[in-house]
């Protein structure tokens, strides 16, 4: 069967903007001169603002409509995950990692915590569990990217696109509901495997849902990605060269949108990603348009991985035998695991204490690092562009504030 993505969309993204580049949006070196008639003034965006995707506060200094200074204030949703983790046993922490941090990619957070804890405690994961982790992780990447793209569309006025993205996401979220009973905070992973075997017929329904989502996507291109208005809003906005993206330490789609082909699934493979065939889409200009395209094409690549993993899904146990109920890590033992979440590299650093609780858990969030470079990305552009730039960073404030 020929898959829809082979028919309609090339797996590689875009090129430098050749079409009608909106020149009024492109800043140049030394472009900023304080106007004589308009004084600089401060405007406060957020923390309760639909464009900031959560409780993010941006104190912006404006000259007219142009952002000339930006202070990013975070912490409005700080729930102290790391302190909580110091008071819980290793298996208990899983319930916190998917709702306290990046709740739109809960599978990835549980996964990275389990990777770190399994490394610390020396637990091996059975084959079928690895496949289920990859399947759920990639479906979660698709649903997270759909939400991100839809919210970006909503920010720039494309309400229909937002609703369409949500409709497609619903198909994927329904799979998770069937698998583990939850739509957002799954607690699907366990130390040494996963907690639920797919119910009868789930594999076929997952094939069907992924196929339907991929089948929808060309329609979305026509509505939004190939839309002239979107091109005017996105091309040449917040351009970031590859060298600058590497220097700043950009994460995930922001880094790849600038043309740096760096994806941990390919470059520092974890779990069983070496077994799957997929491409890493990259942009060139590193503008808002390219980052959006990277996300769009990552949905197709994730669908490709899900199909391969569903076809190869082996039988066998889903969780390692003889995992202690309350495992103990030796004092001073350290482990760090990282993986490629929809927002970039996330990581978990665990230090053992000789007890059933960790001495220290440090959460490394991709959104935290991406937001730290927001001033470098947005100064020189207009306030309305700032909202779109925040949208392309796709920050989840749970991941930033922890």
Partner 1 sequence: MSSQAQRPPRGVDPPGRSVDPGVDPRPLLAEKLGAQVLETRTDPDGTLRVVVDLAAWRPAAETLREAGFERLDFLSCVDWDDHFDLVLQAYSPTSRIVVRLVAAVARDGSAPSLSDLWPTVGWEEREAYDLFGLSFAGHPDLRRILNPESWDGHPLRRDYVDDINITRPQYF
Binding site for partner 1 (CB under 8 A): 10-19, 74-75, 78, 80, 82-83, 87, 89, 119, 225-226, 228, 231, 242, 246-249, 259-262, 267-268, 279, 281-282, 284, 326, 334-336, 338, 345, 347, 349, 351, 356, 359-360, 362, 364, 368-369, 372-373, 376, 401-402
Q: How far is the CB of 85 from partner 1 (least distance, A)?
A: 10
Which position has the token pair 């000789």?
354
Which position has the token pair 């106007």?
35
- The two beta strands, 360-364 and 344-351, are antiparallel
Identify which of residues 139 and 377 has a Cβ nearer to partner 1 in the complex.
377
Tell me how far CA of residue 90 lies from CA of 83, 120, 190, 327, in angstroms. Answer: 13, 10, 10, 7
Q: How far is the CB of 368 from partner 1 (least distance, A)?
A: 7
Question: Can you spell out the DSSP letters for 72-135?
Answer: EE--TT---HHHHHTTS-HHHHHHHHHHHS-GGGHHHHHHHHHHHHHHHHT----HHHHHHHHH
Task: Give the span between the Cα atoms of 170 and 167, in whole angstroms.
Answer: 5
The number of beta carbons lying within 10 Å of the beta carbon of residue 103 is 16
Question: Can you spell out the DSSP letters for 354-399?
Answer: SSSS-SEEEEE-HHHHHHHTHHHHHTTSBHHHHHHHHHHH---HHH
Work out the angle between the directed axes of helices 127-155 and 288-312 (0-180°, nearest 10): 150
Which position has the token pair 């082996």?
314
Identify which of residues 207 and 231 has a Cβ nearer to partner 1 in the complex.
231
Q: How far is the CB of 27 from partner 1 (least distance, A)?
A: 20
Identify which of residues 63 and 244 has a Cβ nearer to partner 1 in the complex.
244
Q: How far is the CB of 18 from partner 1 (least distance, A)?
A: 5
Q: How far is the CB of 106 from partner 1 (least distance, A)?
A: 21
Identify which of residues 23 and 37 has a Cβ nearer to partner 1 in the complex.
23
* Farthest-apart Cα atoms in the chain, separation: 74
Identify which of residues 58 and 171 has a Cβ nearer to partner 1 in the complex.
58
Identify which of residues 196 and 349 has a Cβ nearer to partner 1 in the complex.
349
Q: How far is the CB of 14 from partner 1 (least distance, A)?
A: 4
The number of beta carbons lying within 10 Å of the beta carbon of residue 356 is 16
Nearest to 258 by CA among 236, 231, 240: 240
The number of beta carbons lying within 10 Å of the beta carbon of residue 141 is 27
Identify which of residues 10 and 160 has a Cβ nearer to partner 1 in the complex.
10
Identify which of residues 128 and 130 has a Cβ nearer to partner 1 in the complex.
130
Task: Give the span between the Cα atoms of 287 and 235, in whole angstroms.
Answer: 6
Identify which of residues 175 and 250 has a Cβ nearer to partner 1 in the complex.
250
Identify which of residues 182 and 223 has a Cβ nearer to partner 1 in the complex.
223
Tokens read off for 70: 């930006």
Q: How far is the CB of 115 from partner 1 (least distance, A)?
A: 10
Q: How far is the CB of 60 from partner 1 (least distance, A)?
A: 17
- Assess contact for 374 and 72: CB atoms under 8 A: yes
Nearest to 43 by CA among 399, 387, 395, 398: 387
Q: How far is the CB of 385 from partner 1 (least distance, A)?
A: 19
Q: How far is the CB of 302 from partner 1 (least distance, A)?
A: 17
Which position has the token pair 């220097």?
247
């Amino acid at each position: 069967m020929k898959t829809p993505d082979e028919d309609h969309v090339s797996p590689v993204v875009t090129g430098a903007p050749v079409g009608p580049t909106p020149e009024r949006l492109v800043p140049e070196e030394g472009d900023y001169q304080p106007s004589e008639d308009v004084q600089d003034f401060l405007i406060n965006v957020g923390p309760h603002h639909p464009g900031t995707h959560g409780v993010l506060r941006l104190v912006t200094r404006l000259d007219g409509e142009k952002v000339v200074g930006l202070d990013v204030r975070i912490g409005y949703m700080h729930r102290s995950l790391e302190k909580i983790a110091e008071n819980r046993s290793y298996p208990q922490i899983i319930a916190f990692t998917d709702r306290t941090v990046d709740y739109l990619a809960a599978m990835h957070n549980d996964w990275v915590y389990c990777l770190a804890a399994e490394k610390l405690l020396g637990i091996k994961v059975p084959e079928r569990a690895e496949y289920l982790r990859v399947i759920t992780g990639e479906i979660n990447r698709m649903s997270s990217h759909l939400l991100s793209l839809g919210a970006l569309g909503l920010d720039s006025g494309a309400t229909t696109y937002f609703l369409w993205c949500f409709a497609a996401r619903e198909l994927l979220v329904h799979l998770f509901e069937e698998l583990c009973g939850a739509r957002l905070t799954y607690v699907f992973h366990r130390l040494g495997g996963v907690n639920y075997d797919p119910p009868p017929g789930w594999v076929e329904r997952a094939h069907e849902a992924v196929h339907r989502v991929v089948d929808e996507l060309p329609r979305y291109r026509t509505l939004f990605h190939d839309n002239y208005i979107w091109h005017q809003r996105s091309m040449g906005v917040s351009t970031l060269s590859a060298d600058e993206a590497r220097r700043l330490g950009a994460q995930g789609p922001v880094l790849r949108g600038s043309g740096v082909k760096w994806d941990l699934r390919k470059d520092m493979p974890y779990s069983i990603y070496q077994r799957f065939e997929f491409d890493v889409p990259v942009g060139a200009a590193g503008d808002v348009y390219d980052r959006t395209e990277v996300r769009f094409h990552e949905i197709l690549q994730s669908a490709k991985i899900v199909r391969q993993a569903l076809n190869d899904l082996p039988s066998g146990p889903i969780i390692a035998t003889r995992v202690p109920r309350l495992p103990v890590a030796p004092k001073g033992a350290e482990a760090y695991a990282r993986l490629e979440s929809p927002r970039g590299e996330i990581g978990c650093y665990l230090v053992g204490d000789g007890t059933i609780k960790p001495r220290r858990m440090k959460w490394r969030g991709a959104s935290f690092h991406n937001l730290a470079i927001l001033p470098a990305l947005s100064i020189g552009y207009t306030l309305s562009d700032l909202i779109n730039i925040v949208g392309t960073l796709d920050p989840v404030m749970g991941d930033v504030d922890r």
